[in-house]
Structure 1
Amino acid sequence: MGTSVPTAPDATANLADVLPSCLVALGAADDAWLRSAGLEARITLRPARSAIVVLVDGLGAGALSARTGHARWLASGKKKLRSGFPTTTAAALSTLTTGRSPGTHGVVGYSGWNPDTGKVMNLLSGWDDEVPADWFLVRTLFSEAPALGVDPVVVGPARYRSSGMTANVLGGARYVSADSIAQRVDAALAETASGRSLVYLYVPELDSIGHKHGWQSDRWTAALELLDGELARLERALSGDVGVVVTADHGVLDVPDHANIALDPLLLTDVVGVAGDPRCRQLTVAPGTDVRGLVGAFRARYGKKAHVASRDEAIAAGWFGPVSDAVVPRIGDIVLVARGSWAFNDDRSLRDGEQPKRMIGQHGAMTDDETLVPLRLAGAFAD
């Protein structure tokens, strides 16, 4: 097509490495097991009896670096991790819990195209009524853990306990409900007081505040300060043989009003499904559409505001990691990835005079603000 697309780094540790690396550190897995399972453990961790993995939804390394004075404990760790692509919660958490790429586990975005029904499904909140029972294509590492002698535990808000996403993406773990960050820290400490456990502690607060108010808001900073204090308390109260990994599923950037673009309706004439996030659109087109020509039209229209790739180009560039045959038709025929702070919205359903609702904090694309997340090691894992 004459225009190249960026390639994804394939030799860099990312979210897929976190749980396998913890299992190795707990003495539950070795190189032979990793090879047989097709997994990698590229994060070197000291030996430990149990591990706590704290996943802070929406905490980018760049945002943390800009707020070091408000998060001294978190910021004292200098390591970073790549989250993977797309930088959206449904895909990233699935990568974390399976140790595999979106192209393998099948959750390719915030929402995705179902080739069997010809509809776009919400892959974050739609597991109870939209997503087919066999959509998730691999077992979680929580499901594998008991056979390795490890007790898998998820600590999170009660509202997520019985959700379809929890049953699939966190499947195999025992769920412990704890609504405040402090209560979750206490629960994680209790679960690692004895035995050999792998505890996943989920922190959704920063992401929800960031979407509504932006990461540069006072509310986001206050939530970061509270989290930082609780994680410092977690480290102080740990048993000496318990390791802690703190990371995030993705970062976030604030999108100004002028950077929220309504997609040109003429370019969407042959598009039958608009999936993904505003910063990572996946467009499925009607059979017979000239995909090559439409990719060129999108490139001409949006220029340096976006990377535009056909599905074949995105797969060849490694954007979704290794892609299985079953996952190929779930990816849009055209993938539109925002550059800078732009976002692409489908406003065709708005009534005349209706003002669209936009999020301030957004993610999904490939910028460093979105892909680079902290990797803070503590307890038995401390450097």
Structure 2
Amino acid sequence: MNELDTYPPRYGSASLADILPSALAVLGVPGNPDVLGLTDGPLAGARRVAVLLVDGLGHRLLDQAAAVAPTLAEFTSGRLGSLRPLTAGFPSTTPVSLVTLGTGMPPGAHGVVGFTLNIPETERVLNHIRWDGDPDPMLWQPLETRFQRAAADGVAVSVVSRPDYDGSGLTTSAFRGASYRGASGPDELASGMRAALAEGERSFVYGYLPDVDANGHYFGVDSPQWRGAVTEADRLITMLADGLPADTALIVTADHGMIDVPADGRVDVAAHPEMRQGVRLIAGEPRVRYVHVQAGAAGDVRDTWRAVLGERALVMTREEAVDTGWFGPVLPANAERLGDVIAVCVGREVIINVPEADMESTGVLRAYHGSITAAEMEIPLLTLRGNVTPTG
């Protein structure tokens, strides 16, 4: 399969949404189906499970990563643990993925269906990364998290991540029910996750490393800066894997992959004023735009966007997008958060210069993600059981 081929989510069989239910099934937590087969497979009998999410380390990037990451190379060669591909949810972007992971549910169910979303019946656009708690995350994302289920069953549940993420709307939506340990950098993450794993008779720990994604965005995939971030991620994986106790298992995954976008792959909305005709506001992100239109304008806006974008994007109405199944089953209240018209970039293009939704650097990044291509959607599932020492 080509990296730009369409690669739909595999909810219920091999997706990001299936990791926590399957891992918690290993720990005996009720109401968690093990569709990944971890209970009778690589995690059989484990009493302690750690999940490390390396932001941006898509499955299609592992070969490039292995060149500067000895422990990842051991996984990709089959000499250490096990490795198989899963899919992210759609859109393949961090806030969507983190809530998909934490709830164990597809985006259409939990409602965090984009990097930025129009808050229905308002002119506001919510940026989930800069979410200070308004709207109330308990109302915006009301589903129970898998962390809450595990804690209710007596599992010691922890999140280890950057201190400034503690208490954010996104953290509350994705990880409520877990105790929070602030940690910056691989060394603090490793020590924090190891300490949390030792708690209680059963423990579940989630750790998050953002640096591979950040360096990919700003400098490009396989740039020296990206390679440096991958090397540090590999060092963290090595510290977690080295001397892993016999009753403990480590899972390493990602929230999405990413692709480089050339300078001539940027569709500037400001350079195409017709793209604003009949439009109330635009949300989403550069690879997946949600276009909210004025009353009765959906058909005209769809046709205009199709004319401008051509084969560079799939341009659909909300109903057509929901019917793809890419979001999973979409609750009616969550469907309102999607655009009336949705544009999904399928080549090496992005749609930029949307001031109501974009952050300051959005248009000048080197690499992007969010769309439905294999390069963005395919993520790794690496599993390792205790008492195996990596050679890296």
Do residues 260 (structure 1) and 266 (structure 2) align? Answer: yes
- Where 2:333 maps in the other structure, the secondary structure is coil
User: Which residue matches 1:122?
Assistant: 127
More deviation, 162-171/56-65: 162-171
Give the TM-score of the pair, scaled to structure 2: 0.87
1:237 CA drift (Å): 2.6
Give the Cα separation in 1 of the matches to 2:299 and 2:10. Answer: 25
User: Which residue matches 2:109?
Assistant: 104
Q: Paired residue for 2:97, among 92, 106, 120?
A: 92
Is the contact made by 2:64 and 2:222 (CA closer than 8 Å) also made in structure 1?
Answer: no
Task: Name the amino acid aligned to 2:309.
Answer: Y
User: Which residue matches 1:25?
Assistant: 26
Give the Cα separation in 1 of the matches to 2:254 and 2:9. Answer: 19
Do residues 65 (structure 1) and 59 (structure 2) align? Answer: no
More deviation, 123-132/205-214: 123-132
List runs of 5+ in structure 1 lacking aligned partners. Answer: none
More deviation, 83-92/59-68: 59-68
User: Which residue matches 1:137?
Assistant: 142
Give the TM-score of the pair, scaled to structure 1: 0.89
User: Which residue matches 2:226?
Assistant: 220
- Where 2:180 maps in the other structure, the secondary structure is strand
Runs of 4+ in 1 over 6 A off after TM superposition: none
Is the contact made by 2:137 and 2:170 (CA closer than 8 Å) also made in structure 1?
Answer: no
- Where 1:124 maps in the other structure, the secondary structure is helix
1:190 CA drift (Å): 1.5
Task: Name the amino acid aligned to 2:341.
Answer: I
Is the contact made by 1:102 and 1:320 (CA closer than 8 Å) also made in structure 2?
Answer: yes
Q: Paired residue for 1:147, among 136, 144, 152?
A: 152
What RMSD in Å do the two structures reach over aligned CA positions?
Answer: 2.3
Is the contact made by 2:18 and 2:35 (CA closer than 8 Å) also made in structure 1?
Answer: yes
Compared CA separation, residues 65 and 6, structure 1 to 2 (3 A)? closer
List runs of 5+ in structure 2 lacking aligned partners. Answer: 1-5, 77-82
Q: Paired residue for 1:206, among 204, 208, 212?
A: 212
Is the contact made by 1:17 and 1:43 (CA closer than 8 Å) also made in structure 2?
Answer: no
User: Which residue matches 1:307?
Assistant: 314
1:127 CA drift (Å): 3.6
Task: Name the amino acid aligned to 1:276.
Answer: G
Q: Paired residue for 2:36, among 42, 50, 61?
A: 42
- Where 2:226 maps in the other structure, the secondary structure is helix
Is the contact made by 2:9 and 2:87 (CA closer than 8 Å) also made in structure 1?
Answer: no
- Where 1:326 maps in the other structure, the secondary structure is helix
More deviation, 127-136/141-150: 127-136
Q: Paired residue for 2:277, among 265, 269, 273?
A: 269
Task: Name the amino acid aligned to 1:252.
Answer: M
User: Which residue matches 1:367?
Assistant: 373
1:51 CA drift (Å): 0.4
- Where 1:128 maps in the other structure, the secondary structure is coil
1:165 CA drift (Å): 2.1
1:277 CA drift (Å): 0.9
Structure 1 residues 121-171: Cα deviation after superposition (integer angstroms, max 9, x where no partner)? 112212434566511131111111122221110001112123232223211
Compared CA separation, residues 201 and 277, structure 1 to 2 (3 A)? same
- Where 1:341 maps in the other structure, the secondary structure is coil
Do residues 278 (structure 1) and 279 (structure 2) align? Answer: no
Q: Identity of aligned pairs, percent?
A: 35
Give the Cα separation in 2 of the matches to 1:381 and 1:313. Answer: 50
1:72 CA drift (Å): 3.0
Is the contact made by 1:15 and 1:92 (CA closer than 8 Å) also made in structure 2?
Answer: yes
Do residues 330 (structure 1) and 331 (structure 2) align? Answer: no
1:347 CA drift (Å): 5.1
User: Which residue matches 1:13?
Assistant: 14
